[in-house]
Amino acid sequence: MATAKYLDVADELRRRITTRHFPPGANLPSEHDIAAAFNCKRDTVRAAIAELVREGLLCTGRGRTASVRTPLDKATVALPAGAEVNARPATRPEAEAHGWSPGLPVFEISVPGHPALVYPAEAYTLTTVPAD
């Protein structure tokens, strides 16, 4: 079964990002230029870019060209006993509050009796606290 064209475009853009053809902080070409290079419609390019934003590889903004996210230095979060971790995409309000791209993969850590905490997955490593 053939894959959707936008996934083919996303795969190639992802490859170019991971091989540093587009290094961290670099702007991607315009949607028009990417569409011409892949012989597809701009809607296809938008869907591919949205996929890479959801994966946390790209940042976008109204009126801005998509750019490659700069990886963050990783910090460690020690999970206390009873903590529950949910991996999910950041919501639009969370993204706006923290300056993240909507859809950025995050860890949501819930501990009974405390408000849930949300951390960008690319910036944190989770570890358990040894039992006493």
- Asked if residues 16 and 29 have their Cβ atoms less than 8 Å apart, the reply is no
Say what the pTM is: 0.59
Q: Using CA atoms, how far apart are residues 101 and 56, in angstroms rounded to an integer?
A: 7
Per-residue CA distances from 76 to 17, 42, 44, 107, 112 (Å): 26, 40, 38, 12, 21
Give, for all 132 residues of the chain, the pLDDT tens digit.
557 999 999 999 999 998 999 999 999 999 999 999 999 999 999 999 999 988 878 988 778 889 998 876 688 888 988 899 999 998 888 888 888 777 788 999 999 999 999 998 888 889 987 665
Q: What is the pLDDT of residues 60-97, one digit of tens each?
A: 877 888 999 887 668 888 898 889 999 999 888 888 88
Angle at 21 between CA 89 and CA 11, to 5 degrees: 45
pLDDT confidence of residue 34: 97
Q: Using CA atoms, how far apart are residues 91 and 32, in angstroms rounded to an integer?
A: 28
Q: Using CA atoms, how far apart are residues 41 and 38, in angstroms rounded to an integer?
A: 9
Residues facing residue 108 across a β-bridge? 86, 118
Q: Is 54 left (phi over 0), alpha (psi -120 to 50) or beta?
A: alpha
Pairing of strands 117-120, 105-110: antiparallel
